[in-house]
Amino acid sequence: MTKTANRLQSLRDSSLSRRNFVIGSGAAAVGGATLLAACGDDDEAAPAATTTAAPATTAAPTTTAAAETGVGTTTLGSNYSDEKPRNALAAAVAATGVDTIINTIDHNTYQENFNTYIQQPDDVVAWFAGYRMRAFASKGVVGDISDVWDNLPGMSDGFRSAASGLDGKQYFVPLYFYPWAVHYRKSVFADNGYSIPTTWDEFKALCDTMAADGITPLCAANDGRWPQMGMFDMLNMRINGYDFHVSLMGGRENWEDARVQNIFSTWEEILPYYQPDPNGRTWQDAANALGDKSAGMYLIGTFLTSNFDGDTQADIIDDIDFFLFPEVDPAYGQDAIEAPIDGFMMAAEPANEEGAKALLAGLGSVAAIDAYLSVDPSVVAANSNADTSGYNALQKKSAEAVSSAKFISQFLDRDTDPDFAANVAGVGIADFLATPGNIGTILADVEAKKQTYTFE
Amino acid sequence: MSDTAVATAPPATKHKGPRVKPMRLLLYTFLTVMALAWLVPVGTALYNSFRYWEADTQPNGAFSLPETLTLDNYRDAWNVGEMAKTFGNTAFIVIPALFFTLLLAAMVAYACTRYSWKFNIAFLVLFTAGNLMPQQVLFQPLFQFFKRMPWPDILSDTDTGSLLGTKIAVILIHVAFQVGFCTFVLSNYMKTIPKEIDEAAAVDGAGVWRRFFKIILPLTRPALAALGTLEFTWLYNDFFWGAVLLNRGDERPITSSIAVLNGQWASDFNLIAAASILIALPTLVVYLILQKQFISGLTLGASKG
């Protein structure tokens, strides 16, 4: 009784006609079975798709619940579960004009559970660019949206390639990004007469000066085993170049190679400037050292400012600036930057493909990202035509840094097999930070474990 | 029990008083310290749930004196975690699951203890062995089975076209997994009820159903109450099945509310503490009301087998 009432209420709430949903679920059942076949690691699953694909419900003509865009109702799976991003995404979706039901799942469960979620997905799903998108694209569980890209003004070629699968088709629409750079306090640099280092030697000299001035030169956190992946990525791209980085992430290089050894020997040069025992420190705790000026510099994403309260700690936020990671090898200069891109994919067989594509095109548009930024201004629009008048200094700088970069990486755990990143590379980096002298055995171990991954 | 064991460890016959006293003192000091050590995390969480995170706890530390005390965290946790909805989802899952688990387990236990047939013992062993299987092992087969299992919308709370994604699926899994343990406990309990009671009822003309519902079930009530509290806590605390089977965030049980409050970059731990306390309340209430049964429930079925 109450169940029926609840259901009616929820249907009313979502302004979704029951009939429409029935068709949708039937199609989802079919789609789900096909997806399953695609997810299976062998071909045997394929026949199962055809035999079990019988829809549980009978289709009825779609006559109701069409939105003003005329493409019907679509669904969006979202991991924007924090309050601000959640409201911002709702604003962005509203700006697209497509009638959409947003299914918000807490970001951690969503990401860890994505393999099962994508077998029964919403029409459009929030995800990340780069390897993590390509892995699903090559398994056929997300849909080709190249035709959406035919009409996405303002998206640069860099974003198009970040949105492309290995087959060259597009599977992803970027919404925003946030670069990683070396953050510092403007007032600390001004008061002590420090200048921005652009080369590795200048960087180390600055660390020495800071240490002499009683400031811990480098904030260092590695709780969760991801923060220091950023340092690894930057050192690799500065020492060995972007192409080698991509190749290493793709599992095509030997981790015992002299070039990889070189990353860690260079890294070891700055370890004395780190806060001690980074493996046990959360990135927020490290950020607090920048907040109270006991530490001088911090390689982290621009989400750093979210650690400080917008009202009571506005002075700290305004005082934070960043510079690009210094050049190590002049052959590569500062040509690469790490800037993870967040955006959306389409399910391989969405219940409402027309609606899904309309929503994706809308989310890639200027109107959507403008609406997003008006609620959550901590990120930078992927669309170059977006309204940047509301940008603060950091956002402007971020946009410039990324648009002038020759190469954009996504972050270690997005650029390679996520399991390899978490359980092999991440562990290796943490071990290195604990006992730098063991790097030989650590790399041998990483290389041995790497053999168990296919990187497909 | 343990304190007497410790106190009389060296079987002291003479000079009982002075010898025992320092041991007692030691024991009580140890117990007090342990009790406090266990209370520190809970107490800290409770205390900080009344403080602001960014302005107070984060800069000053969790053990500092408060700048201001507030109930804002509780309000925010309730609203942001959408607890009204997730509490409802949990009730929708836990209450039927609990009811059917106990009913079915009691039936199996009755059949296995009151009737002798060839596979009597094998059957009980099977149910008991089910307890030893880690639930996660069965996740993939169950997931694929549910996905292929057409399910009429009329019989479910959400329209997904298959059993996957419905709370019905979660209820079914809970019933299936919990029946094993409950059967084990209930059959041990029913063995202690004299068979003559059954026989007398049968002589008086009561059929099987009548004997089960009117005679045995009422006599099993203490065991059912104990199991009810235990099972309620277990089912209530489940996060795994709710998270992997329910694809819609707003269908998920109360345990997912904490996950929602965990920020992508920065987490407000005082808010999470407030949410944890709100979520722990129902189990605490059930425990306090049925305390006696809960404790006897922990040893239920341990002595007979």
A55: which chain B residues are within 8 Å (Cβ-Cβ)? 161
Q: Minimal Cα distance from B159: which residue of A?
A: A25
Report residue A337: phi and psi, to 5°: -140, 150
Q: Is the dihedral of CA B153, B156, B162, B166 positive or negative?
A: positive
pLDDT, tens digit, 9 for 90 and up, residues B24-68: 899 999 999 999 999 999 999 999 999 888 778 877 778 888 888
Domain assignment of residue B64, yes or no: yes
DSSP secondary-structure letter at A70?
Answer: S
Task: Note the Cα B171 to chain centre separation in Å.
Answer: 14
What is the pLDDT, as a whole number, of residue B299? 65
What is the pLDDT, as a whole number, of residue B297? 63
Q: Is the distance from CB of A158 to CB of A408 less than 8 angstroms?
A: yes
What secondary structure, in 3-state letters, does chain B show? CHHHHHHCCCCCCCCHHHHHHHHHHHHHHHHHHHHHHHHHHHHHHHHHCCCCHHHHHHHHCCCCCCCCCCCHHHHHHHHHCCHHHHHHHHHHHHHHHHHHHHHHHHHHHHHHHHCCCCCHHHHHHHHHHHCCCCHHHHHHHHHHHHHHCECCHHHCCCCCCECCCCHHHHHHHHHHHHHHHHHHHHHHHHHCCCHHHHHHHHHCCCCHHHHHHHHHHHHCHHHHHHHHHHHHHHHHCCCHHHHHHCCCHHHCCCHHHHHHHCCCCCCCHHHHHHHHHHHHHHHHHHHHHCHHHHHHHHHCCCCCC
How far does chain B reach from its first CA to its final CA, in angstroms?
23
Q: Is the distance from CB of A26 to CB of B161 less than 8 angstroms?
A: yes
What is the pLDDT, as a whole number, of residue B107? 93
Is A82 an interface residue toward B (CB < 8 Å)? yes
Q: Is the distance from CB of A123 to CB of A106 less than 8 angstroms?
A: no
Q: Which of B58, B74, B90 is the last residue of a domain?
A: B74
Contact B147 A54 (CB under 8 A): no
Domain assignment of residue B219, yes or no: yes
Count CB atoms within 10 A of the CB of residue B295. Answer: 13
Contact A120 B165 (CB under 8 A): yes
Which H or E run contains A449?
helix A439-450
Contact B161 A55 (CB under 8 A): yes
Name the minimum distance, in Å, from the CA of A80 to any CA of chain B.
Answer: 9
Q: Is the dihedral of CA A407, A410, A412, A415 positive or negative?
A: negative
Confidence at B221, pLDDT banded by 50, 70, 90: confident
Q: Are residues B7 and B101 in the same domain?
A: no
Q: Are residues B281 and B132 in the same domain?
A: yes
Contact B256 A121 (CB under 8 A): no
Is B3 an interface residue toward A (CB < 8 Å)? no
Domain assignment of residue B142, yes or no: yes
Distance CA B279, CA B233 (A): 11
Distance CA A236, CA B305 (A): 63
pLDDT, tens digit, 9 for 90 and up, residues A150-197: 988 888 887 888 888 888 899 999 999 999 999 999 999 999 999 999
What is the pLDDT, as a whole number, of residue A71? 82
Enumerate the domain spans of chain A. 18-64, 69-176+340-392, 180-338+417-450
Domain assignment of residue B304, yes or no: no
Q: Are residues B155 and B10 in the same domain?
A: no
The label of the residue with tokens 């009790």 reads B35
Collapsing DSSP states into helix, strand and coil, what is residue A237?
A: helix
Q: Which of B43, B74, B105 is the last residue of a domain?
A: B74
- Nearest-by-Cβ selection for B161 from A6, A29, A82: A29
Contact B265 A55 (CB under 8 A): no
Q: Which of residues 127-166 of B touch A (CB under 8 A)?
A: 143-144, 147-148, 150-153, 157, 159-162, 164-165
pLDDT, tens digit, 9 for 90 and up, residues B243-294: 888 888 888 898 888 888 877 776 788 888 999 999 999 988 888 887 777 6
CA neighbours closer than 13 Å in the CB half-sphere of residue A65: 24
Contact A309 B59 (CB under 8 A): no
- Which residues are CB-neighbours of B264 under 8 A, at least 6 positions away? A81, A82, A85, A107, A303
What is the pLDDT, as a whole number, of residue A418? 81
- The structural domain count of chain B equals 2
- Nearest-by-Cβ selection for B157 from A3, A36, A57: A3
Is B253 an interface residue toward A (CB < 8 Å)? no
Contact A81 B265 (CB under 8 A): no
What is the pLDDT, as a whole number, of residue B9? 47
Domain A69-176+340-392 has CATH 3.40.190.10: yes
Of B25, B1, B8, B187, whose CA–CA distance to B104 is shortest? Answer: B187
- Nearest-by-Cβ selection for A29 from B162, B250, B252: B162
Mutate which of A1, A17, A81, A317 to disrupt the B interface (most B C-beta within 10 Å)? A81
Q: ipTM beyond 0.90?
A: no
Q: Are residues B61 and B110 in the same domain?
A: no
Q: Minimal Cα distance from A82: which residue of B?
A: B263
Q: Are residues B116 and B25 in the same domain?
A: no
- Which residues are CB-neighbours of B246 under 8 A, at least 6 positions away? B165, B166, B167, B170, B252
Q: Which of B41, B74, B107 is the last residue of a domain?
A: B74
Of all residues in chain B, what percent carry a pLDDT higher than 90? Answer: 26
Q: Could you check whether A69-176+340-392 and A180-338+417-450 share the same CATH topology?
A: yes
Is A180 an interface residue toward B (CB < 8 Å)? no
Contact A56 B59 (CB under 8 A): no
Of B96, B132, B71, B18, whose CA–CA distance to B270 is shortest? Answer: B71
From residue A332, give the alpha-carbon distance in Å to each of A241, A326, A337: 6, 11, 12
Collapsing DSSP states into helix, strand and coil, what is residue A185?
A: strand
Distance CA A330, CA A332 (A): 5
Q: Are residues B37 and B109 in the same domain?
A: no
- Nearest-by-Cβ selection for B260 from A22, A106, A113: A106
A103: which chain B residues are within 8 Å (Cβ-Cβ)? 247-250
Contact B143 A116 (CB under 8 A): yes
Name the minimum distance, in Å, from the CA of A75 to any CA of chain B.
Answer: 11
Distance CA B168, CA B157 (A): 7
Contact A120 B263 (CB under 8 A): no
pLDDT, tens digit, 9 for 90 and up, residues B190-220: 888 888 888 899 999 988 999 999 999 988 8
Q: Are residues B62 and B94 in the same domain?
A: no
Q: Domain range for residue B6? A: 2-74
Q: Minimal Cα distance from A17: which residue of B?
A: B159
Amino acid identity, position A112:
E
Collapsing DSSP states into helix, strand and coil, what is residue A455?
A: coil
What is the pLDDT, as a whole number, of residue B122? 84
What is the pLDDT, as a whole number, of residue A274? 95
pLDDT, tens digit, 9 for 90 and up, residues B155-192: 776 667 788 888 889 999 999 999 988 998 898 888 88
CATH for B211: 1.10.3720.10
Q: Please give the structure tokens belonging to residue A362.
A: 């809308």
A180-338+417-450: CATH, from 3.40.980.10, 3.40.50.620, 3.40.190.10, 1.10.1030.10 = 3.40.190.10
Of B87, B13, B57, whose CA–CA distance to B280 is shortest? Answer: B87
Is A55 an interface residue toward B (CB < 8 Å)? yes
Contact A106 B256 (CB under 8 A): yes
- Nearest-by-Cβ selection for B161 from A6, A28, A309: A28
Contact A303 B161 (CB under 8 A): no
A50: which chain B residues are within 8 Å (Cβ-Cβ)? none
Low-confidence ranges of chain A (pLDDT < 50): 1-67
Q: Are residues B65 and B86 in the same domain?
A: no
Name the minimum distance, in Å, from the CA of B249 to any CA of chain A.
Answer: 4
Q: Which of residues 300-339 of A touch B (CB under 8 A)?
A: 303, 306-309, 312-313
- Nearest-by-Cβ selection for A116 from B59, B159, B244: B244
